Structure 1
Amino acid sequence: MFVLVLTACAQVPGGQVDPSSDSPPPASPHAGAESAAIGLVNIWRVSGAEGETTDTWLRLDVPEFQLWRDCGMIQGSWGASESLFLASTDAASGECVTGATLPRVAWLESVTGYRAQGAGWELNDANGAVVATLTIDGKPDAIPTAAEFYTEPPVITDAMREELRQPAALPEGSSPATPENLVGRWLPVAISGATDPHVLFAADGTWTGSDGCNGGQGRWGADGAGGLLTTSGASTLMACDGAPVPFWVAEARLASVDGGVLRLLDAGGSELGELKHD
């Protein structure tokens, strides 16, 4: 019954469904049920967001978003769980770009969660306040600096459903990581060499880290029940004698803290790495 409810939520509201997908896709090994977050995939008119006009649209594809403003289009990555929502900006076009500086989308970068509101959604900050409302209401006009297909809703595919699928449960006996006990600087438990692989989970919901040579950064959120959600930006790809900590963080969907050891796990519950407080 719980799965059926989530499936219904995923259809209303939502983007176009791939007509070749006549039946639910097979779940990944050990993964959970289909997520209500699939219902976020669409083109939405943005209302109530500070600094935005009435002609602002947010196109949520997987894993990218496009934000349409009068100046052009702003792009980035996003992710969602059953309650968490995070987005990070990484590109822009048209007059939205000033020199080499990317525009800030402060309201979108403050969003940490979402909930259904009528036929649309509310985006909320860490205090639960409504940051913006998303509704189905028209679509943006095509612009010279962006492909025209960006003016249409994404087609929901099996790959998208898998990307947003709920993660597996934490291993039995594990203690869920919480927003409070994740904050701080963490080092790999097993480390050799003179490099400094690490991750710093800041209290403001951002993270920075390194594999010892290449940096990484993004946003993070934890639901207090073991679920972890992160975004990540571009990074260099130098060969390094360290540990792939930024990769662990980017891939993690689950986290536990036991005996001072942070375990990061992927959506299927497989361990990515273990870290200890610096």
Structure 2
Amino acid sequence: MRHFMVAVLAAALLLTGCTAHSTPPAASHAPPTTIPPVSGTSTAIGLVGLWRVSDTAGERPYTWLRLDANEFQLWRECGMVMGSWSAGESVFVASVFGADGACVEGRVPSLDWLESATSYERDGEGWTLTDDDGAAVARLAIDGAPEPIETAAEFYTRPPELTGETLAAFRRPAPLPPNIAAATPEQLVGRWEPIGSTGTTDPHVEFAIDGSWLGSDGCNGGGGRWAVGPDGQFFATSGPTTLMGCDGAFVPSWVATARLAGFDGTRLLLLDQEGREIGRLVRG
């Protein structure tokens, strides 16, 4: 459950409710840089950076998207919107889990254009995010930076640094074990329960056809977006959750940390980046 505790703490630090402003890029800002491809990592590491967002429905001209390992911050005039993202060689998923400043307005805002993105492609020195139909939902370019705001640390105005955590997050996963068949999106849709569940609680996960997922460890809920790439590569986002202790199985944490999905007969296996089994489930 440590994954979710980190998310809760991050959201608590940022959800302060103060008014924030985003302005045109100042000339004193150093030009943002991007992370080059690194041997053994997915091409998705090239998405890590600070990007000016354009050609996007509902966003104003001075909007930036900061993509770091596993998390993003979208800078609007009202402040920041935060969330989780994951990507592979072409697959992209993202979901919102928080906001700060005037961006909250009584509820966490939605980013329909970002959550509809399922793939990406190179666009000059930047990127284009596309949906299931191949239509562009946003273009990302290196162009200025947001001004600091009172509700967020100043380093969020700069591109992320290349760290060991970043490299680890984008390292290509090990192949599935030879006796495990790679999962497909069609096979995953539906409700799954951990093998050996006692029935006293209700640990489960449900993968919806629209690319969202919801689950529970028996007491605490979780959810986000999911996708399956080639050879069973699995991608999921997640957000904060409650931290109640109870009998059950850490199913939402399995989903959030899995990098591979495959089948041993009719049993669904979720595996980590090294190909180690995290959890085993059956249809509910």
- Same fold judged by TM-score > 0.5? yes
* 1:112-151 equivalences in 2 (<5 Å): 112-151=118-157
What's the TM-score once normalised by structure 2's chain length?
A: 0.84
Aligned equivalent of 1:15, options 18, 30, 34: 34
Q: Which range moved further: 149-158 or 199-208?
A: 149-158
Change (3 A) 1:219 1:155: same
Is the Cα–Cα contact under 8 Å of residues 124 and 130 in structure 1 kept in the other structure?
Answer: yes
- Structure 1 position 92 matched with structure 2 position 99: yes
Aligned equivalent of 1:104, options 102, 105, 110: 110
Secondary structure at 1:139 match in 2? coil
- 1:122-174 Cα offsets, whole Å, 9 max, x none, are 11112222111111111112223322221111111122011111111111132
Q: Which runs of 5+ in 1 are unaligned?
A: 1-12, 18-23, 26-32
Name the residue aligned to 1:29. none
Q: Which runs of 5+ in 2 are unaligned?
A: 1-31
Q: Please give the alpha-carbon distance, in whole angstroms, between the structure 2 residues aligned to 1:141 and 1:107.
A: 24
**Deviation at residue 182 of structure 1 after TM alignment:** 0.4
Secondary structure at 2:231 match in 1? coil
Aligned equivalent of 1:255, options 253, 257, 261: 261
**Deviation at residue 81 of structure 1 after TM alignment:** 1.4
Is the Cα–Cα contact under 8 Å of residues 33 and 142 in structure 2 kept in the other structure?
Answer: no
- Structure 1 position 225 matched with structure 2 position 244: no
- Structure 1 position 36 matched with structure 2 position 43: yes
Dislocated runs of 4+, deviation >4 Å:
none
Q: Please give the alpha-carbon distance, in whole angstroms, between the structure 1 residues aligned to 2:200 and 2:149.
A: 50
Name the residue aligned to 1:241. 247
Change (3 A) 1:146 1:277: same
Aligned residue pairs, count: 252
**Deviation at residue 50 of structure 1 after TM alignment:** 0.8
What's the TM-score once normalised by structure 1's chain length?
A: 0.86
Q: Please give the alpha-carbon distance, in whole angstroms, between the structure 1 residues aligned to 2:33 and 2:234.
A: 24
Q: Please give the alpha-carbon distance, in whole angstroms, between the structure 2 residues aligned to 1:256 and 1:16.
A: 31
Is the Cα–Cα contact under 8 Å of residues 193 and 241 in structure 1 kept in the other structure?
Answer: no
Secondary structure at 1:276 match in 2? strand
Is the Cα–Cα contact under 8 Å of residues 35 and 46 in structure 2 kept in the other structure?
Answer: no
Q: Which range moved further: 237-246 or 261-270?
A: 237-246
**Deviation at residue 48 of structure 1 after TM alignment:** 1.0
Q: Which range moved further: 89-98 or 203-212?
A: 89-98
Alpha-carbon RMSD across the aligned residues, in angstroms, is 1.8
Is the Cα–Cα contact under 8 Å of residues 167 and 253 in structure 1 kept in the other structure?
Answer: yes
Q: Please give the alpha-carbon distance, in whole angstroms, between the structure 2 residues aligned to 1:66 and 1:93.
A: 10
Counterpart residue identity of residue 183, structure 1: V
Q: Please give the alpha-carbon distance, in whole angstroms, between the structure 2 residues aligned to 1:67 and 1:86.
A: 15
Aligned equivalent of 1:82, options 80, 89, 107: 89
Is the Cα–Cα contact under 8 Å of residues 14 and 40 in structure 1 kept in the other structure?
Answer: no
